Amino acid sequence: MSKDMDIRHRVLHSTDITPFQRRVYLELLNVPRGETISYGELARRIGCRSAQAVGQALRRNPFAPEVPCHRVVASDGSLGGFHGERQGEMIERKRQLLEKEAKR
């Protein structure tokens, strides 16, 4: 089983996440390495009106970094949050992850 199929399988069959989280994580797996998506666009893709709800699901992402929540940014292009933080060490980590992916 490929790495991508393995994580999809784990997300699909996890009993530790809600159906909403499952939809968020599965859709996020469609965002290619080196690209980003806004919280609002991710919400729209799964039929949700709340970018904030998507952010809360990502904050609880038990599959990170395989489900790459670091690829989700604010609609104004800023980094938004990461692991429930909006500044400091975690945002720096998000920036580094995105930078590393952009170089590949």
The residues carrying an active-site annotation are 69
DSSP at 85: B
Residues in a beta bridge with 82: 85
Residues comprising the chain, all counted: 104
Spell out where 29-88 has E strands: 37-38, 72-73
